[in-house]
Amino acid sequence: MTFEIKTSSTDCSARAGIITTDHGQIETPIFMPVGTAGSVKAIHQRELNDDILAQIILGNTYHLYLRPGLEVLKAAGGLHKFNHWDKPILTDSGGYQVYSLSGTRKLTENGVIFSSHIDGSKHEFTPEKVMDIQRIIGADIIMAFDECTPYPCDYQYAKKSMDLTHQWLKRCITAFDNSEPVYGYSQTLFPIVQGSVYRDLRKQSAETIASHGREANAIGGLSVGEPTEIMYELTELVCSILPKDKPRYLMGVGTPANLLESIALGVDMFDCVMPTRNGRNGMLFTRNGIINIKNKKWEMDFSPIDEESDCFVDQFYTKAYLKHLFKANEILGLQIASIHNLAFYLWLVKEARKHIIEGDFLPWKTRMVEQVSRRL
């Protein structure tokens, strides 16, 4: 994997770049749709390509390991062949599940023992095992095994957890560097900064992560419930320490406004379930603000979902029809909302890139943040 910066903003830390992988290029800043179980929920690959213009998608180690399982993935020839996505894939390590499944897991010295959310069976994840699984899944970008701390999180725990993540990282790196890709193309390991909301821990973690000199770096443990301002302050701090010439990936973020603000702070990559999950729950993100399509006010609104969008569903379907689909529990509603939201997210980062290159990112960003945050 290589990263080349095309243009850097002069009035903020935003930059436009190109990541090159064996499955093609990614123009940054980029938003990566989440496809946890090997599928971006409710979306066809054709829509991902032609309507949403996705350049890279995510998969999840924990979920894919449990189902379909490594035997199937290996026999399929890796996730790219299995789900027929031939552009880049990034897999999360299961570090987020250490957090979100905290009720059914146990931390050990060696790693984490999970109870499967599917059948309750016990499975152990260690840094070595997680590297091995991600080799077999065959993602272009694989994530270090970390612990995503909850919020709030007391200092002692945050420190202990950060140290654990750092130890695990060393083991991840050893395991990764001493193993080979399973399917011929190269894979890249991203380490992850932790440290909860504590500036000194974040600083220490960013320095530790940077010292490993990997090809890119990720920021984890944010957008877990802390105030947005704190998230921005920590992102800014961490970005100021992580090397400038390497991609920075802010994990799990966020709202359209979060993306724009974070791009200004120097973040290049994002992923978030929000456009898909919230879309399935009736929330539409648009350049003019946020719509809850289930609300009565859209019942008689026969205007297109988004008249300024080039995306097929935005022109083809009306708000009133989409409202009806949601109320009638029709599966098509979920599909339309998901396509719309992802297309909007990809449009937003593409537009951000354009303005970075044109040199007017900051004023454009300020205007857009206000616009996309409105409630319609």
- Which residues make up the interface to RNA (CB under 7 A)? 34, 36, 40-41, 58, 60, 63, 92-93, 95-97, 99-101, 103-104, 117, 143, 146, 148, 192, 218, 220-221, 223-225, 228, 251-255, 258, 271-274, 276-278, 280-283, 292, 294-297, 299, 327, 329, 331, 334, 375
Judged by CB, which is closer to RNA: 281, or 354? 281
Q: Which is nearer to RNA, 50 or 299 (CB)?
A: 299
In the complex, least distance from residue 117 CB atom to RNA, rounded to whole angstroms: 3
Based on CB atoms, which residue is closest to RNA, 299 or 370?
A: 299
Q: Choose between 21 and 258: whose C-beta lies nearer to RNA.
A: 258
Residue 246 CB, nearest approach to RNA (Å): 17
Of 195, 250, 241, whose CA–CA distance to 219 is shortest? 250
Of residues 58 and 216, the one with the C-beta less far from RNA: 58
Tell me which of 51, 140, 271, 314 is the catalytic residue.
271
Tokens of residue 69, six digits: 């399982």
- Is 301 considered catalytic here? no
Minimum separation from the CB atom of position 284 to RNA (A): 10
Q: Which among 267, 271, 212, 216 has a CA at the least distance from the CA of 237? A: 267
Q: Say if CB 293 and CB 284 are below 8 A apart.
A: yes
Catalytic site includes residue 271: yes
From the CB of 7, what's the least distance to RNA, in Å? 26
Task: Provide, rounded to whole angstroms, the least separation between the CB of residue 276 and RNA.
Answer: 3
Single out the residue of 216, 185, 209 nearest to residue 23, CA to CA.
185
Helix (H, G, I), strand (E, B) or coil at 332: helix
Of 284, 277, 287, nearest to 301 by C-alpha is: 284
Annotated active-site residue in 92, 140, 268, 314:
92
- Residue 91's DSSP bridge partners are 59, 142
* Integer CA distances (angstroms), 33 to 41, 289, 321, in order: 10, 20, 25
Residues 140, 144, 146, 148, Cα dihedral to 10°? -30
Catalytic residues, by residue number, are 92, 271
